[in-house]
Amino acid sequence: MRYIALFFITIFCIFANYSKAQEIYLPATEAAIEQRAFNAPDRYSTNKYQLTQYLIRPFHNDYDKLRVIAYWVASHIAYDNYKYDNGRFNEKEMRVNYDILRSKAGICTDFAQLFADMAAIANVRGVEVVSGYVLQNAKAVKKWYHANEMPKDGHAWNKVTLYNGRKFFVDTTYMSRNRIGAGKKYKSSLKHKLELQKRMRTKEKINENIDAFYFDFTPREELKRVRQIHVQKKFVR
């Protein structure tokens, strides 16, 4: 009788642990990720520690924690075309040095570093900032870039290696549809400064139209996508 009771107790424990594992590792729905990222209170938006803790609170696995962080960055941060224009850094000409969280603006290195910092706060290891080009072939690069316009490092994004060994890339810059100065040519940095100050003073505008493709992709998948849609050279790193 004792062995029968022990048998049923063992079976119960196995199923209990299985159910618990399923609850922990079952991926969150995209709706749940979006709701958490898009509705984050403004009071957390300038403190990456408080912001990260708020975003990841409902999620139990590293993958979902990275998703909600990426979705927040992509929906709240704008790419600053003035800071990096046609392969040239304009930081020396800028009249303001800004923090990416305060101004909700930055360039690809800012996006990638913020994502890596927030991942570290979330205690997700294996997230690093990488740079370069998808088009590694010299002939392909020359087709898209003029030699004088090609920046040395091209673009920055994040490489992720999860605890189970799975590897993929995250590019919050390309996920974001927010832009500052898109299609504009600034004669001076004063206009740029005023635009940044306006973003800091006013309530942040959330752009929910993000490109989810750039969370969890491989270089081969991206190159295939680039070839399919025939993007302009400025969008090819």
The pLDDT averaged over each successive group of 10 residues in the chain (237 residues) is 51 45 62 94 92 95 97 93 63 62 88 96 95 63 55 80 92 90 61 77 77 89 69 43
Report the pLDDT value the prediction gives residue 181, as an integer from 0 to 100: 73
Report the pLDDT value the prediction gives residue 59, as an integer from 0 to 100: 95
Report the pLDDT value the prediction gives residue 75, as an integer from 0 to 100: 95
Report the pLDDT value the prediction gives residue 15, as an integer from 0 to 100: 43
pTM for this model (two decimals):
0.77
Range of the domain at 111: 2-235
Report the pLDDT value the prediction gives residue 196, as an integer from 0 to 100: 78
Cβ-contact 55, 68 below 8 angstroms: yes
Residue 101 is part of a domain; what is its CATH number? Answer: 3.10.620
Instruction: Tell which residue, 53, 55, 58, 50, has the closest CA to residue 68.
Output: 55
Q: Torsions phi, psi of 229, nearest 5?
A: -95, -5
Overall number of domains in the chain: 1
Report the pLDDT value the prediction gives residue 174, as an integer from 0 to 100: 93
Report the pLDDT value the prediction gives residue 24, as an integer from 0 to 100: 44
Report the pLDDT value the prediction gives residue 142, as an integer from 0 to 100: 58
Taking the C-alpha atoms of residue 138 and residue 135, their distance in angstroms, rounded to an integer, is 8
